[in-house]
Amino acid sequence: MPRLVMKFGGTSVADLDRIRSAAEKVRREVERGYDVAVVVSARAGETDELAGRVRATSTLYDAREYDTVVAAGEQVASGLMALTLQEIGVPARSWQGWQIPIHTTGAHGAARILEIETQEMVRKFGEGLHAVVSGFQGIGPDGRISTLGRGGSDTSAVALAAALGAERCDIYTDVDGIYTADPRIERRARKLDKIAYEEMLELASLGARVLQTRAVELAMRYKVRLQVLSSFGDQPGTLVCDEEEIVEQNVVSGVAHVRDEAKITLLKVPDRPGVAAAIFGPLADHGVNVDMIVQNIGADGMTDMTFSCPTDEVARARAALEAAQGALRYRELVVDDEVAKISVVGIGMRSHSGVARTMFSALAAEGINIKVITTSEIKVSVLIDRKYMELAVQALHQTFGLADD
């Protein structure tokens, strides 16, 4: 029988009614003839509550004990889901990470899945027993419970789908798919039927909270077809798949934005080998997540270095750079924390030149000044004044013909 992995997040198992509603979706797929493995997160808020109790106990906590404590949330959810499935006539049992087992690295709290032994689960499929798997967890080489880091249940689902050779991995969430833009900003935004792994990866790293980046990477590597769809409706969602499967490719698939970016520029840094490392080393040490980086070479042996980071990391960035002033000897540190990042993403860009030019022209036509530009093979990102963010998203959505009809 074909196999299907269905993953339900914390809001989809928040209470018994929602678990019941998720279970009904599972039953429908079972009736379609699938052997189903359901992957569940802890109910919304549970992991935070448990993690809070760990932190209240110990500041520099032992990550192995942290994992033991927080993994309890998924354990409860898996048992309740299995019981609910049984109640509506779907034979099912729960599986904890250590029971399957899902072998992970020993990096407790941020483990990576190494191998999933599916033999026993497959044997139980043969007996008509569907599976409910605790997401987010596995067993480390030390024989102890490990967790994959926050949001790891998506990764659990994709890895299990790969190990089971599942026909598809359905990720049920509180949005009903991937849109050409944020519908709160562009009301003509359109749900995509399909999107390529590479595009989804760019969108995930651009702040689309729908899927974990690691889950998308894994899906791409093992060619797991991933569907994002809503727990609360019955519409099909968006299929994240190989680009070969997408017949009608747009040049641009979507416009993404990140509202709370800050632009930091070091003016007149003496340019010498190793200067970039001297700048970004201290930033990393201070836990600053640097996003875009642009360097302009001046003629006078000086360089200007610009980067962006989340606005709430500006204070740390400033502290790191001021402490390093003695070594860097920059002339001035300029912070602009009123910027936003706008990106256009599309695998079609690879074969169509001129996307960047079209984008820049559209922004210029609206009188929007571009402060920083970076590009990748399938993405162009710019920093602009935050006050123009909505306008920019709408203009680009229009320019690249992304709206309905």
Binding residues for its own copies, rule: CB under 8 A, are 16, 19, 50, 53-54, 56-58, 61-62, 64-66, 68-69, 71-73, 75-76, 78-80, 82-84, 86-87, 93-94, 96, 98-99, 143-145
Of the two residues 144 and 316, which places its CB atom closer to its own copies in the complex?
144
Q: Residue 52 class from Cβ within 10 Å (0-12 exposed, 13-18 middle, 19+ buried)?
A: exposed
- Least Å distance, CB 245 to its own copies, is 38
| 148: DSSP letter | -
Is residue 74 within 8 Å of residue 100, measured between CB atoms?
no
Maximum separation of any 2 CA atoms in the chain, in Å: 77
Beta pairing class for 226-230 and 238-241: antiparallel
Angle at 197 between CA 193 and CA 199, to 5 degrees: 80
Name residue, tokens 């340019």: 271
Of the two residues 51 and 185, which places its CB atom closer to its own copies in the complex?
51
- Least Å distance, CB 158 to its own copies, is 24
Of the two residues 67 and 154, which places its CB atom closer to its own copies in the complex?
67
- Least Å distance, CB 164 to its own copies, is 19
Name residue, tokens 């009608």: 248
Q: Which candidate, 321, 362, 328, places its Cα nearest to that of 344?
A: 362
- Least Å distance, CB 233 to its own copies, is 24
- Least Å distance, CB 6 to its own copies, is 18
| 294: DSSP letter | E
Angle at 332 between CA 370 and CA 371, to 5 degrees: 5
Of the two residues 76 and 292, which places its CB atom closer to its own copies in the complex?
76
- Least Å distance, CB 97 to its own copies, is 12
- Least Å distance, CB 50 to its own copies, is 7
- What would the two tokens of residue 159 be? 């890895």
Of the two residues 63 and 373, which places its CB atom closer to its own copies in the complex?
63
Q: Which candidate, 176, 305, 303, 289, places its Cα nearest to that of 231?
A: 176
Q: Quick one: residue 45, left, alpha or beta (phi over 0 = left, psi -120 to 50 = alpha)?
A: left
Phi, psi of 195 (to 5 degrees): -145, 145
- Least Å distance, CB 136 to its own copies, is 14
Of the two residues 93 and 350, which places its CB atom closer to its own copies in the complex?
93
Task: Using only the alpha carbons of the chain, give its radius of gyration.
Answer: 23
Q: Which candidate, 32, 26, 125, 41, places its Cα nearest to that of 84?
A: 26
Of the two residues 36 and 395, which places its CB atom closer to its own copies in the complex?
36
Of the two residues 15 and 322, which places its CB atom closer to its own copies in the complex?
15
Is residue 253 within 8 Å of residue 180, measured between CB atoms?
yes
Angle between helix 152-164 and helix 213-222 axes, rounded to 10 deg: 10
92-95 sheet: strands from edge to edge: 92-95, 130-134, 35-40, 3-8, 168-173, 226-230, 238-241, 194-196
Cα 319 from Cα 314, distance rounded (Å): 8
Of the two residues 57 and 369, which places its CB atom closer to its own copies in the complex?
57
Of the two residues 75 and 311, which places its CB atom closer to its own copies in the complex?
75
Please state the length of the chain: 405
- Least Å distance, CB 149 to its own copies, is 17
Of the two residues 16 and 277, which places its CB atom closer to its own copies in the complex?
16
- Least Å distance, CB 214 to its own copies, is 25
- Least Å distance, CB 52 to its own copies, is 11
Cα 4 from Cα 25, distance rounded (Å): 12
